[in-house]
Structures are given as structure tokens and as C-alpha cells.
């Protein structure tokens, strides 16, 4: 069976890993890097080649079949050929790919192919040399074309799906070259993939610059009404206008060792720190499994992504996979990752968001002593949810805090004018117990008695007391409250799910969250005599109906 650690709560199996080998690049593409450049991470904080290979072996052992090497520009990495040779030795790894700007490709390609390279993606955004230089802020068009021609000569081609050209389409810059790129596929045996312009830190994205997949398709069909008649394939990466998150099988490791489960998510967890803390493979897998399990159903949409803080593209690299004119939509899924990174040095939890190669952290209070350094929060992956909370109140640019008046003073919301309606909400919390406490809980052998039955009662009681605990909550007549538990053995975790229902003028989210939190605290109390390494985490709203 496929590894549970690489399977998320929606059943998606992550068999494709992208590894950034460096943040450095020999070009300065406008959509990838801010005008002022980016601050590079100190070398000591980047993954070493040995660490890259250690992580690669671990992921391949768990079921990863394809690894793509990215950057920055991976072909400026001095030991790129040696890395390829070592990856080729990994049993179970079927495909090794590289995404490159092509500047060094002609010089290195013979050695790369001999080392075991299977697939090449080459970034090329203009077929006009002067425009190429304007977009990438460097000379080198003829070097890129030389690399493409050599790859074709050496047998890389779209029939084997081994040679692709990536073109980021930007309005007012290169959308007039769409037909020229399509025509290129008739002259040369390669596939062209048109990429919608995506928002990343510092690239000045706005909706007006983006040329949508549908608009590109309409332009191309003016000359080629039936795309199936094209001699070679044309693909589209439609992450903005028509996301394909539901079938994503990709994970990313940045050059500084952070695991990103979503290209557009700004939260991540440092595998580098875990490796350097001396953690075992088992501990690493637990952290990876929790991160993968926390993946959301889909990303937040292009307008919300454009407002989020994220790494510059050069610190992430490698676009998602396309829809092709000659086939079905390839698997892809991007979403949000909400992780807490517990560090032994601070004894506090941090939500880590990358910004220009550094980590900005918001300290939170840790609810329990640490199990081991850099443990991240857990998320239930035992069942899929009927609704997802990816639509959040702050998605609107006009969102306001309703518990503050016009002068910033705390106030209670007046719901008297609202009509009563049926409302429900579900919330969850995860308790990471450790091996011994989990076993005793599961087998009903705790000295204090039945922890789950006690936690169920405490959660129900807490829901009824929410207005007494949370100052500005309204007292609601609950019609029903349920508290259930899932025991997730690979993570030694108990996942609490609380559901509240009422007929009233305001929602029951806080009642559900309070019930889940208190039930989790009760489990902690029932188990604390066995272990001091218990962690409560990932308290979140899962779904709601009624109202906004």
C-alpha cells in the first residue's frame, strides 16, 4: 500500500517531489524576481547535498516515483551531475527531471543524460532576442536555443514526454507571441506549455497582466480551430483561472529545506532543522505525514493569493503541471498548509511563513512540553469532509472586525434584527499523545478511567457554557451537540470532532470550537500522568452551515 505519510486527508497520494537545489540564478526574470533582487539565504542555512539526498531517499522509500530538480537555476549547482547519479541509484525512483532556464544546458547536457536525466523543462518566454533580454534582464537567447536544439539531437522529445518549453504569458509583453510558440512545435519536436501569470512575492502581479487559459485558447484556435490537429502537444498551466487542486500529487522542498505542500500557500515546515536536530527517519516521517495531512482542498483563489505573503518565485521554482490539448488534465493540487513548528529552544509554537528567504514567526503559547524538536501540528486524515473552510471571512477586501465599533472599541454584535434559522458548525482539535499514552488510551487502560467518555461529556458541557467563557458570545439554546473521536495510529494522535446545532440568530462556530478544545484538554488531563510530551494542536473550524 502507498505510504500513509504521503497521503492527505482527501486521499491524494503524493508521488512527485520537487527539490530546489539553489536560490541562485543567472537570469533575473521579471515574473520570478523583484526589481531589487532577493536576499539570499546564508549558505549555512541551505540544505547540503548530503541532506538533499537523505531526504530524497526517505521520500522515495515512502512511494515518491518522480523527482524534479529546480532552483533558482539548478544547472549552476557545481555538483548537479553527481546529485543526478546518486538519485539514479534509488530503487523505486522512475523519473528524474530538471527545470532550467537553458543557459548552461548545451554545455552540461551530455553529462546530465549519462547520469540519468529523463525529462527537461526549459523556460523561454519570447522568441524575439531583444524581448527575451528585456524579460529576463540578461543576454542569452541564443544559448537557450542552442540548449533546446542539443536536447532534440540527443533524443529528448515530446513523444517520450521528455522535452517541454515553458512560457509565462503576460499581457502587454508576450501574449502576441502565442501563435509563434505554437508554430514552433511544428518546426521542432517539443511541447510548449503556456503558463498563466501567477502572483508571487515582489513580482507586481495584478489581474490585468494575466492572460487566462480561455483567452489563450481562443487566440490559438483562430489559426488552429482543432488543437488535436497540431503536430506536437500544446499545454496550459491554469492555476489561476481554472485550478486543478483536486488531484495534486506534488510536494516541494525549498533550497533551505522547508517543505511546502502548496505552491501558493505561505506556511511551511523546516525539514532541515529536523534533520540537524538528529531526528530519526521515523520522526521525520511523522512530521512529513502531519504536513501532508494538513493540506487543504484547494488554494484560496488568485485574488486572495495575490494579497498573501509568500516567497518570491525564485525561492520556490517549478510551476505546476498543465492541462494538455492532447489529453486529460494532469494531476495537480495546491492549497494551504497551517502548521505549528514547535522549537525546543523557545518552548513556543510558531506559524512559519517564508519571506525573502527568512522566517517570520508569530509566537504562540505552547500548551504542553515538547515531544521532540520541530514537531509540527497534526491534522486528521481519517475522513474527508463534506465541506471545506477554504472560504474564510477575510476573503473579502471589505472584511471588518464585527466586535469593534467605528472608534475601535469592543462591542457586542446586535443580532436582534436577524431571523432565526437552523445553524450547524463542526470543529476539530488534535492531541498528539506519543506511543505509550496512545496505546493506553486506545486499549482503555488509563488509570483515571475511560478518557474518551470523559472527554465527550466535558466537550458537551463546554459547548453549553461558551457564552460564559468567551466574553462577546451570545448565549444560544443548543438543539444538539456531539463529540466524536478518531484514533490515528501512525501519528499516535486522537482527533476530536465537535458538532453543534441550533436554531438561532447567530452561528455556533464558537460552541463547536470550545467543545473541541475542552475535550482535547480533558484527554490531556486524563493522560498526563503517563507522559509529559503530549501536544494539543490544529484547533480549527471544519465546516458551518447557516448564515454567512
Residue 443, pLDDT > 80, answer yes
What CA–CA distance (Å, rounded) separates 314 from 256? Answer: 12
Contact 86, 36 (CB under 8 A): no
DSSP conformation letters of 346-384:
TTEEEEEEEETTEEEEEEEE-SS--SSTTEEPP---SS-
**Residue 110 binned pLDDT confidence (cut-offs 50, 70, 90):** very high
What CA–CA distance (Å, rounded) separates 236 from 195? Answer: 6
What pLDDT was estimated at residue 26? Answer: 86
Ordered by where they begin, the domains of the chain are 4-324 (3.20.20.70), 378-545 (3.30.70.640)
What pLDDT was estimated at residue 202? Answer: 44
What pLDDT was estimated at residue 206? Answer: 60
What CA–CA distance (Å, rounded) separates 18 from 33? Answer: 19
State the catalytic residue, choosing from 388, 479, 486, 525.
Answer: 525
Residue 242, pLDDT > 60, answer yes
pTM of the model: 0.58
**Mean of the pLDDT values across residues 211-228?**
86
What pLDDT was estimated at residue 345? Answer: 28
| Range of lowest pLDDT (31-45, 381-395, 419-433) | 381-395
Contact 271, 287 (CB under 8 A): yes
Report pLDDT digits (tens) over 7-23.
988 889 999 999 999 99
What pLDDT was estimated at residue 388? Answer: 37
| Range of lowest pLDDT (81-85, 164-168, 225-229, 438-442) | 225-229
Report pLDDT digits (tens) over 268-286.
789 999 999 999 999 999 9
Secondary structure of residue 164 in the 3-state scheme: strand
What CA–CA distance (Å, rounded) separates 338 from 379? Answer: 9
What pLDDT was estimated at residue 209? Answer: 78
In the chain, % of residues over pLDDT 70: 74
What pLDDT was estimated at residue 513? Answer: 96
Contact 164, 136 (CB under 8 A): no
Report pLDDT digits (tens) over 344-397.
322 222 223 333 332 322 222 222 222 323 333 333 333 333 333 333 344 333
| Range of lowest pLDDT (58-67, 76-85, 111-120, 444-453) | 444-453
Residues linked to residue 481 through DSSP beta bridges, in sequence order: 500
Catalytic-residue membership of 525: yes
The mean of the pLDDT values for the chain is 78
E strands, 344-477, are: 348-355, 358-365, 375-376, 421-432
What pLDDT was estimated at residue 69? Answer: 97
Report pLDDT digits (tens) over 477-536.
899 999 999 998 888 999 999 999 999 888 899 999 999 999 999 999 999 998 888 999
Distance of CA 469 to the CA centre of its chain: 35
Amino acid at each position: 500500500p502507498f505510504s500513509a505519510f504521503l497521503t492527505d486527508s482527501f486521499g491524494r497520494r503524493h508521488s512527485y517531489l520537487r527539490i530546489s537545489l539553489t536560490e541562485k540564478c543567472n537570469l533575473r526574470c521579471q515574473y520570478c524576481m523583484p526589481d531589487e533582487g532577493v536576499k539570499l539565504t546564508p549558505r549555512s542555512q541551505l540544505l547540503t547535498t548530503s541532506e538533499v539526498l537523505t531526504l530524497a531517499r526517505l521520500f522515495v522509500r515512502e512511494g515518491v516515483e518522480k523527482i524534479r530538480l529546480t532552483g533558482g537555476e539548478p544547472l549552476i549547482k557545481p555538483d548537479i551531475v553527481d546529485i543526478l547519479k546518486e538519485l539514479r541509484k534509488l530503487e523505486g525512483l522512475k523519473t528524474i527531471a530538471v527545470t532550467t532556464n537553458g543557459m548552461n544546458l548545451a554545455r552540461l547536457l551530455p553529462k546530465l543524460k549519462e547520469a540519468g536525466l529523463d525529462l527537461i523543462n526549459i523556460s523561454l518566454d519570447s522568441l524575439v532576442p531583444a524581448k527575451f533580454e528585456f524579460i529576463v534582464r540578461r543576454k542569452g537567447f541564443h544559448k537557450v536555443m542552442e540548449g533546446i536544439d542539443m536536447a532534440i539531437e540527443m533524443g529528448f522529445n515530446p513523444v517520450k514526454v521528455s522535452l517541454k518549453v515553458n512560457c509565462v504569458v503576460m499581457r502587454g509583453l508576450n501574449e502576441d507571441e502565442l501563435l509563434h510558440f505554437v508554430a514552433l512545435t511544428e518546426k521542432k519536436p517539443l511541447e510548449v506549455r503556456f503558463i498563466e501569470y501567477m502572483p508571487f512575492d515582489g513580482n507586481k502581479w495584478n489581474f490585468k497582466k494575466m492572460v487566462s487559459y480561455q483567452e489563450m485558447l481562443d487566440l490559438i484556435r483562430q489559426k488552429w480551430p482543432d488543437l488535436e490537429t497540431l503536430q506536437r502537444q500544446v499545454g496550459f498551466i491554469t492555476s489561476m483561472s481554472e485550478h486543478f487542486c483536486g488531484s495534486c500529487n506534488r510536494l516541494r522542498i525549498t533550497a533551505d529545506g522547508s517543505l511546502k505542500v502548496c505552491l501558493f500557500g505561505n506556511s511551511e515546515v523546516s525539514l532541515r532543522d529536523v534533520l540537524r536536530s538528529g531526528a530519526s527517519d521515523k520522526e521525520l516521517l511523522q512530521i512529513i505525514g502531519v504536513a501532508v495531512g494538513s493540506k487543504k482542498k484547494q488554494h484560496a483563489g488568485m485574488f486572495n493569493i495575490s494579497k498573501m505573503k509568500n516567497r518570491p518565485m525564485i525561492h520556490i521554482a517549478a510551476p505546476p503541471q498543465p492541462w494538455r490539448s492532447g489529453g486529460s488534465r494532469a494531476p495537480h493540487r495546491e492549497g494551504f498548509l497551517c502548521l505549528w513548528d514547535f522549537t525546543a529552544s523557545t518552548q513556543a509554537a510558531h506559524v512559519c511563513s517564508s519571506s525573502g528567504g527568512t522566517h517570520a514567526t508569530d509566537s504562540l503559547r505552547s500548551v504542553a512540553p515538547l515531544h521532540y524538536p520541530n514537531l509540527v501540528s497534526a491534522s486528521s486524515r481519517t475522513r474527508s469532509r463534506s465541506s471545506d473552510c477554504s472560504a474564510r471571512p477575510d476573503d473579502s477586501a471589505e472584511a471588518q472586525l464585527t466586535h469593534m465599533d467605528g472608534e475601535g472599541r469592543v462591542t457586542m454584535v446586535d443580532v436582534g434584527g436577524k431571523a432565526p434559522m437552523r445553524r450547524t458548525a463542526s470543529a476539530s482539535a488534535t492531541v498528539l499523545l506519543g506511543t505509550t499514552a496512545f496505546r493506553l488510551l486506545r486499549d482503555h487502560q488509563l488509570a483515571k478511567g475511560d478518557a474518551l467518555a470523559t472527554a465527550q461529556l466535558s466537550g458537551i458541557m463546554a459547548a453549553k457554557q461558551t457564552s460564559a467563557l468567551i466574553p462577546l458570545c451570545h448565549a444560544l439554546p443548543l438543539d444538539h451537540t456531539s463529540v466524536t473521536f478518531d484514533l490515528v495510529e501512525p501519528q499516535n494522535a486522537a482527533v476530536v470532532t465537535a458538532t453543534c446545532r441550533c436554531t438561532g440568530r447567530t452561528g455556533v462556530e464558537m460552541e463547536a470550537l470550545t467543545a473541541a478544545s475542552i475535550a482535547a484538554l480533558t484527554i490531556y488531563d486524563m493522560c498526563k500522568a503517563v507522559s509529559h510530551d503530549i501536544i494539543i494542536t490544529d484547533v480549527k473550524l471544519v465546516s458551518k452551515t447557516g448564515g454567512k
